[in-house]
A = this chain, B = another copy of it.
Amino acid sequence: MEAHKLSLKQNLRRIIFGTDTPWGLRFDQFLIYAILLSLLVVVLDSIESVSKTYHAELSVFEWIFTLLFTVEYILRVYSAPNRTKYIFSFFGLIDLLAVLPTYLALLFPELHALIDVRILRLIRIFRIFKLTQYMSEYQHLADAMAASRRKILVFLSVVLMVVMVMGTLMYVVEGPSHGFTSIPMAIYWAITTMTTVGFGDITPQTDLGKLIASAMMLMGWGTLAVPTGIVTAEMSHTRKSNRVDTNRICLACLREGCGVEDRYCAACGTQLPPIQ
């Protein structure tokens, strides 16, 4: 294996996109801290008591991070093997959305807080620490979700119909004077109730309304079983055990199944040889 002579662009690509070189790893670690700090700045700025005193300082920090991420975005686009593909990829769009709000906030101040979209960049965390085992767990979860995608869509469409019918029914029964001011409001209440959230900002006042609400709660309780059933059935199916059971034996008495951390045989007291 010979050393490859890489162009500047290729070197840049390896550092920015890769994590298998010391500099690539350092770059990504630096990025994670920058993202976390920039999030902290946004969150602190939203707290009135903090913002009142330190708004100017926080604004300076935010612009520093935004410029940093803008430079990073430009470098990514420059060094990407296929620019169009990167720009419209999932990560490419998130990288863009992470810098846009600050610029847009100059025109529309209320969009400012949206830079919290930056948090999505933390998904990179899974790549950085070479946590392949976590990656596989994540893959397993994603697989189970993907496999049950269509069942969940069918389920959600049925739930939405039920919620609309029940919401309308409650709108008719309770009426605007009891807080059910419109059908969308009644549907919002029906979702609140069937998902067992139950804010309590709107509650049925009439006896008939309470009867219908009771039936809805019991229905919602039973219905909750369905997505769980779907996901569990998929997970049980795709579950693959890769546990290692020890076959370590004591050389003195040949007792099998000594634990990985045992230092002495539990049957005869002889010291066990170290695991190789």
- Residues of A at the B interface (CB closer than 8 Å) are 39, 42-43, 46-48, 110-111, 113-114, 116-117, 119-120, 122-123, 125-126, 133-134, 137-138, 140-141, 144-145, 150-157, 159, 161, 164-165, 168-169, 171-172, 175-176, 181-185, 187-188, 191-193, 195-201, 203, 207, 210-211, 213-214, 217-218, 220-222, 224-237, 239, 241, 258-259, 261-271
Contact = CB atoms under 8 A, between A and B. Distances in A.
11 contacts: A113-B172, A114-B168, A116-B183, A137-B151, A192-B217, A198-B200, A225-B228, A226-B231, A228-B229, A232-B233, A236-B236
Given A183-B42, A259-B266, A113 B229 contact: no
- Identical chains in the assembly: 4
A141 B158 CA distance: 11
A196 B221 CA distance: 9
A117 B164 CA distance: 9
Contacts of A193: 197
Contacts of A114: 168-169, 172
Contacts of A197: 193, 196-198, 217, 220
A152 B222 contact: yes
